[in-house]
Structure 1
Amino acid sequence: MEPTYTIYEQQIERKLKRWEIRLQRQPNLIERASKLVQNRINQVIPEKVHNTITATVKGIVQTTLFGVGYMPSSEPLRGLSLGDRDAKAEELLSLYKKIAAAEGAGTGAGGILLGLADFPILIGIKIKFLFELAHIYGYSTKDYRERLFILYVFQLAFSSSKKKPELLRTIKNWPVISQTFPPAVDYAKQIDWLQLQQEYRDTIDFRKMLQLIPGIGAVVGAWANFGLLEELGVAGMNCFRLRSLQDKANCGFI
Structure 2
Amino acid sequence: MNAYEQRIRFELDVWERRLTEPPGWLERTSKTISAKINELIPAKVHQAITATVRSIVRTALFGAEYTPRRKVNRDATLEEADQEARNTLSLYQKIATAEGAGTGTGGLILNAVDFPALIAIKMKCLFELAHVYGYDTNSFSERIFLLNVFRLAFSSNAQREYVLDLIRRWDVEKERWSSDSEYYRRMDWETFQKEYRDSIDFRKMLQMVPGIGAVAGAWANYTILEELGEVAINAYRIRRLGDASYE
Instruction: Tell me if TM exceeds 0.5.
Output: yes
Change (3 A) 1:206 1:34: closer
Report if aligned partners of 1:101, 1:221 keep a CA contact under 8 Å in 2.
yes
**How far apart, in 1, do the equivalents of 2:111 and 2:30 lie?**
22
When structure 1 is superposed on structure 2, of 25-34 and 97-106 the one drifting more is: 25-34
1:130 and 2:126 matched: yes
The amino acid of 1:252's aligned partner reads S
Report if aligned partners of 2:108, 2:208 keep a CA contact under 8 Å in 1.
yes
Of the candidates 76, 88, 97, which is equivalent to residue 93 of structure 2?
A: 97
**How far apart, in 2, do the equivalents of 1:232 and 1:31 lie?**
16
1:120 and 2:99 matched: no
When structure 1 is superposed on structure 2, of 121-130 and 185-194 the one drifting more is: 185-194
**How far apart, in 1, do the equivalents of 2:178 and 2:233 lie?**
26
**How far apart, in 2, do the equivalents of 1:87 and 1:138 lie?**
14
Report if aligned partners of 1:24, 1:165 keep a CA contact under 8 Å in 2.
yes
Of the candidates 74, 80, 86, which is equivalent to residue 84 of structure 1?
A: 80
Of the candidates 154, 170, 173, which is equivalent to residue 174 of structure 1?
A: 170
Matches within 5 A, 1:1-254: 5-181=1-177, 183-247=179-243, 251-253=244-246
**How far apart, in 2, do the equivalents of 1:166 and 1:223 lie?**
30
Q: Tell me the number of residue pairs that the alignment of Structure 1 and Structure 2 aligns.
A: 247
**How far apart, in 2, do the equivalents of 1:219 and 1:31 lie?**
21
Shift of residue 112, structure 1, vs aligned partner: 1.3
**How far apart, in 1, do the equivalents of 2:180 and 2:82 lie?**
30
Shift of residue 33, structure 1, vs aligned partner: 4.6
**RMSD value over aligned CA atoms?**
1.4
Report if aligned partners of 1:26, 1:162 keep a CA contact under 8 Å in 2.
no
Q: Deviations over 1:185-232 (max 9, x none)?
A: 222110111000001000000110110112111000000000001101
**How far apart, in 2, do the equivalents of 1:106 and 1:36 lie?**
28
Unaligned ranges ≥5, structure 1: none
**How far apart, in 2, do the equivalents of 1:125 and 1:32 lie?**
27
Secondary structure of 2:31's aligned partner = helix
The normalised TM-score by structure 2 is: 0.96
Percent pairwise identity: 51
**How far apart, in 2, do the equivalents of 1:196 and 1:34 lie?**
17
Shift of residue 162, structure 1, vs aligned partner: 1.5
Tell me which stretches of 4 or more aligned residues in structure 1 moved more than 3 Å: 28-34, 181-184
Q: Deviations over 1:95-133 (max 9, x none)?
A: 111110000000101111101210000000000000000
The amino acid of 2:39's aligned partner reads Q
The normalised TM-score by structure 1 is: 0.93
Unaligned ranges ≥5, structure 2: none
The amino acid of 1:78's aligned partner reads R
